[in-house]
Amino acid sequence: MNAIALKSFDPIIPTEKESVQAQQSSRVLARYLKAHGTEPVELAEPGHPDQRITLPAAALRLLVDILTQMAQGNAVTLIPVHAELTTQEAADLLNVSRPYLVQLLEAGKIPHRKVGTRRRVLFRDLMRYKSVEDEARLKALDALAEQGQKLDMGY
């Protein structure tokens, strides 16, 4: 799953200058990952070679994904997979209304729990539901396209 988001849901929209920098940086990091695979990268602060940090390859892959999105001018947020979301946050991620999301929860289509009178949805459960729904939509579109071809509808 390629969902990238911050728990605060406060997207940061990159400036044009940041987009250009992100594009350049993502290319350099992507080349490094291609050449070195799972090896971590060690960084030193300019002028302070004794102050180093080591970034794991997984963090580099995530950073390349973030930079690629920023290079395209997209806002980026991060959500840990174990994060619990409010119904409004979950609805926003699915791009549906909150009442519709509540219907999905009550129908048992997405696991959730109640904290007092409030419902909470795990991010990973929400993304699992989205993945299944997206797959079903693609199958339906494929079937429609196949039917259109059989009926010689011109597309």
Architecture of the domain defined by 84-150: Orthogonal Bundle (1.10)
10 band by pLDDT with thresholds 50, 70 and 90: low
Per-residue tokens: 75:
């806002």
- pLDDT value, residue 151: 87
- pLDDT value, residue 87: 96
Residue 61 has pLDDT above 60, yes or no: yes
Q: Which of 88, 129, 133, 99 is nearest to 111 (CA)?
A: 129
Decide the pairing of beta strands 113-115 and 48-55: unpaired
The pTM assigned to this predicted structure is 0.64
Q: How far apart are CA 110 and CA 145, in angstroms?
A: 29
Q: Are 111 and 122 in contact (CB under 8 A)?
A: yes
